[in-house]
């Protein structure tokens, strides 16, 4: 019987991951945690938890008999640039705390499986941009990307040295409608839908031809759970897997939205986020993920736009500006 702790559950991914895991493993077996005082998305079992407080993390893991941890708490690419030291501390020490607890539990005969997400931000300006291979030059330029690259190294190190069963995905930009995005460079691809639904023009902070790898939330959640459920001996990559969803640029997304809202207008005013996007891949080669644990993307642009349009009904205050 698995007992699963998800840290960072008030965020964009955590909120949906908890729902999917609860459906699969039952409400008694999924513990949602975040630094906030309460669950923003109605998680049944919720703990207020600062991932930097390793004693309390250990207490919760022991108290609930946790067998799997998803460590999602982080500062993202845009918010990380506003507070680099805070981003480094949270992103690195949060992961290290979990890896250390997993090492100790493993040595005591109580193995803990760990999921921690990396990002396409771990790549950089000298990475090949088209069909970026699993093993490529990685020279990230943001503190967020640097923390993800270092985190990948740590994961592989803890696996090789201490046999910690840690698994990771280099998430592309994740598009969803349930919760607002958390301050990343790809947030435009969510904000644009809200602007269209409000009947407003969208001022895009990336240029029209800025192609980036993206993934729709249901695919991202499926990839995450499939990786965590795969037999350990099939997981050849212990840093983080490339996982491709789809790739598009703001011009192509705006065109797809215009099929629903012919009056929809977009303008382009690239800001400092353009410089970040310019160092990221356009598309990913996910051969390893396909071969090792059977990954295949399911959702293309048409279906994504249809589903986003169907689900974004009411305007969400602040989202336009948050992106
Ligand atoms: N969303 C994306 O497009 C994307 C892409 C690539 C990688 N990722 C990675 O996935 C993970 C989750 O991303 P997200 O988009 O859901 O982020 P988010 O910002 O929406 O959510 C992060 C959550 O972590 C919580 N948190 C912050 N500090 C904490 C602490 N000290 N202890 C416990 N909780 C804390 C926040 O309250 C928030 O609810 C991150 O590691 C991120 O780097 C996300």
Instruction: Tell me how far the alpha carbon of residue 260 lies from the centroid of ligand 1, in angstroms.
Output: 31
- Which strands sit side by side in the sheet containing 241-242, from one edge to the other? 118-119, 169-171, 241-242
pLDDT of residue 313: 75
What is the per-residue pLDDT across 10-48, written as a single tens digit (0 to 9) for each?
A: 999 999 999 999 999 999 999 999 999 999 999 999 999
Q: Does residue 185 contact residue 16 with C-beta atoms inside 8 Å? A: no
pLDDT of residue 314: 53
What does the alpha-carbon distance between residue 111 and residue 4 come to, in Å, rounded to a whole number? 13
* CA-174 nearest atom, ligand 1: 3
pLDDT of residue 321: 29
Low-confidence ranges of the chain (pLDDT < 50): 316-323
Instruction: Tell me how far the alpha carbon of residue 72 lies from the centroid of ligand 1, in angstroms.
Output: 5
Fold identical between 4-170 and 174-214+244-322? yes
From 5, 6, 74, 89, the mutation candidate for ligand 1 (largest count of ligand atoms within 8 A of CB) is 74
pLDDT of residue 82: 96
Give catalytic residues, as residue numbers. Answer: 144
Which homologous superfamily does the CATH classification assign to the domain defined by 174-214+244-322? NAD(P)-binding Rossmann-like Domain (3.40.50.720)
Helix (H, G, I), strand (E, B) or coil at 94: helix
Spans of all domains in the chain = 4-170, 174-214+244-322
* Class of the CATH-defined domain 4-170: alpha beta
What does the alpha-carbon distance between residue 56 and residue 33 come to, in Å, rounded to a whole number? 11
Give the list of residues 6+ apart from residue 283 with CB closer than 8 angstroms, or none: 129, 130, 131, 132, 211, 213, 244, 247
Instruction: Tell me how far the alpha carbon of residue 32 lies from the centroid of ligand 1, in angstroms.
Output: 13
Ligand 1 pocket: which residues have CB below 6 Å? 7-8, 10-14, 34-36, 49-52, 72-74, 76, 90, 117, 119, 171, 173-174, 182, 184, 186
pLDDT of residue 163: 98
Kindly report the protein residue whose alpha carbon is nearest to atom 2 of ligand 1. Answer: 174
| Per-residue tokens: 251 | 């011009």
| Per-residue tokens: 104 | 């100790």
**pTM (predicted TM-score):** 0.96
Instruction: Tell me how far the alpha carbon of residue 22 lies from the centroid of ligand 1, in angstroms.
Output: 19
Kindly report the protein residue whose alpha carbon is nearest to atom 7 of ligand 1. Answer: 119
pLDDT of residue 184: 92
pLDDT of residue 180: 85
| Per-residue tokens: 74 | 């982080």
């Amino acid at each position: 019987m698995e007992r699963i702790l998800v840290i960072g559950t008030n965020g964009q991914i955590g909120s949906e991951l908890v729902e999917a895991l609860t459906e699969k493993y039952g409400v008694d077996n999924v513990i949602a945690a975040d630094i906030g005082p309460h669950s923003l998305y109605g998680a049944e079992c919720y703990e207020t938890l600062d991932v930097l407080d390793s004693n309390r993390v250990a207490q919760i893991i022991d108290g609930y008999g946790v067998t799997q941890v998803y460590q999602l708490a982080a500062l993202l690419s845009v918010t990380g640039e506003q507070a680099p030291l805070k981003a480094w501390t949270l992103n690195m020490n949060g992961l290290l705390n979990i890896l250390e607890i997993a090492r100790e539990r493993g040595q005591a005969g109580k193995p803990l499986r760990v999921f921690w997400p990396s990002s396409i931000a771990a790549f950089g300006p000298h990475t090949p941009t088209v069909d970026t291979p699993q093993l490529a030059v990685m020279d990230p330029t943001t503190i967020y990307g640097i923390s993800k690259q270092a985190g990948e190294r740590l994961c592989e190190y803890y696996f090789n040295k201490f046999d910690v069963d840690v698994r990771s995905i280099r998430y592309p930009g994740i598009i969803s409608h349930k919760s607002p995005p958390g301050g990343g460079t790809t947030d435009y691809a969510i904000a644009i839908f809200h602007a269209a639904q409000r009947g407003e023009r969208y001022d895009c902070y990336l240029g029209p031809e800025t192609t980036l790898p993206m993934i729709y939330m249901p695919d991202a959640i499926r990839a995450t759970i499939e990786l965590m459920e795969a037999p350990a001996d099939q997981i050849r990559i212990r840093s983080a897997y490339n996982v491709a969803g789809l790739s598009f640029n703001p011009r192509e997304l705006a065109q797809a939205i215009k099929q629903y809202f012919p009056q929809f207008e977009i303008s382009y005013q690239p800001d400092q986020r353009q410089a970040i996007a310019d160092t990221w891949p356009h598309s990913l080669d996910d051969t390893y993920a396909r071969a090792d644990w059977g990954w295949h993307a399911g959702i293309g642009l048409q279906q994504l736009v249809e589903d986003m349009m169907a689900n974004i009904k009411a305007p969400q205050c602040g989202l336009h500006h948050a992106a």
